[in-house]
C-alpha cells in the first residue's frame, strides 16, 4: 500500500527540482531495488551502434528525450529469462513519449533461439535489438548479462542494476517515475 502510494505521488507531483537528485533516488530504493547503484553524477552512455533483427542500425541517441531503461540480456541467461516479462509489462504500462524500455541482446544470440524466446515469454511490446560484437556492451562496461541502466532524457546513465529484477514492481516504477519527472538540466 505504501509503495503504491509513493509511486502515484511521484507520478502526480510531476517535475520537482529534487526528484532526480541522487539522494532522492537513494531514498526510493526499496525491496530488491536496494541493489540499484545510483550515480552521484550522471555518466555518459555509450555511442556505439547496434542493430535490430532486420539489420537497421540504431544508437542510444534514437531515444534522446526519453527516460530509458536499457537492459543487456541474452537468450541463454536464466535471470534474463526471468526478468524479460517484467520489462515487457513495464513498456506496456509506461512506454510512450516520455519513457522506453530498450533491451539489447548481448553478444551472439541465434536467430531461432531469439524467436523461440520471444514467443515462449510472450514478449510483444519490446524491440528486438542486437549487439552481436558487444561494441555497445563493452563501451557501457557490461561484462555479462543481465545489466540494466536507467538513462535520463539526455541519455546519461543515472543508475545501474547488475542481475535480474522485477522491473514492473512498484519499487522500480517509483524510481523510474522520479527520473521521468525530473526537470531537464
Question: For 48-60, how does the pLDDT look when each residue is reduced to its tens digit (9 = 90+)?
Answer: 999 999 999 999 9
pLDDT band for 145, please (50, 70, 90 cuts): very high
User: Residue 117: phi, psi to the nearest 5?
Assistant: -60, -50
Give the pLDDT score at 72.
99
Asked whether the predicted pLDDT for residue 97 surpasses 80, the reply is yes
Asked whether the predicted pLDDT for residue 96 surpasses 50, the reply is yes
CA 53 – CA 63 distance, rounded (Å):
18
Give the pLDDT score at 5.
46
Give the pLDDT score at 9.
45
Domains of the chain, earliest start first: 2-180 (3.40.30.10)
CA 108 – CA 93 distance, rounded (Å):
29
Indicate the pTM of the whole model.
0.89
Helix, strand, or coil (residue 161)? strand
The residues, ordered by sequence, that sit 6+ positions from 124 with a Cβ below 8 Å of its Cβ are: 88, 118
Give the pLDDT score at 2.
47
Q: How far is CA 16 from CA 42, 64, 136, 139, 185, in A?
A: 18, 21, 32, 32, 12
Short-list 47, 40, 92, 72, CA closest to 162: 72
User: Residue 170: phi, psi to the nearest 5?
Assistant: -60, -35
User: Residue 134: phi, psi to the nearest 5?
Assistant: 60, 25
Amino acid at each position: 500500500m505504501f509503495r503504491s502510494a509513493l509511486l502515484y505521488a511521484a507520478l502526480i507531483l510531476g517535475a520537482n527540482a529534487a526528484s532526480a537528485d541522487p539522494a532522492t533516488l537513494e531514498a526510493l530504493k526499496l525491496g530488491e531495488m536496494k541493489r540499484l547503484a545510483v550515480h552521484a553524477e550522471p555518466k555518459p552512455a555509450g555511442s556505439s551502434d547496434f542493430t535490430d533483427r532486420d539489420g537497421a542500425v540504431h544508437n542510444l541517441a534514437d531515444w534522446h528525450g526519453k527516460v530509458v531503461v536499457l537492459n543487456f540480456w541474452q537468450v541463454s541467461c536464466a535471470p534474463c529469462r526471468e526478468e524479460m516479462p517484467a520489462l515487457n509489462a513495464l513498456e506496456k504500462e509506461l512506454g510512450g513519449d516520455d519513457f522506453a524500455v530498450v533491451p539489447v541482446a548481448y553478444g551472439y544470440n541465434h536467430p531461432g533461439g531469439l524467436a523461440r524466446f520471444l514467443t515462449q515469454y510472450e514478449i510483444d511490446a519490446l524491440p528486438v535489438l542486437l549487439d552481436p560484437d558487444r561494441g555497445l556492451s563493452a563501451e557501457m562496461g557490461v561484462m555479462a548479462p543481465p545489466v540494466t541502466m536507467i538513462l535520463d532524457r539526455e541519455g546519461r546513465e543515472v543508475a545501474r542494476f547488475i542481475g535480474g529484477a522485477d522491473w514492473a514492481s512498484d519499487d522500480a516504477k517509483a524510481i523510474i517515475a522520479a527520473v521521468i519527472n525530473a526537470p531537464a538540466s
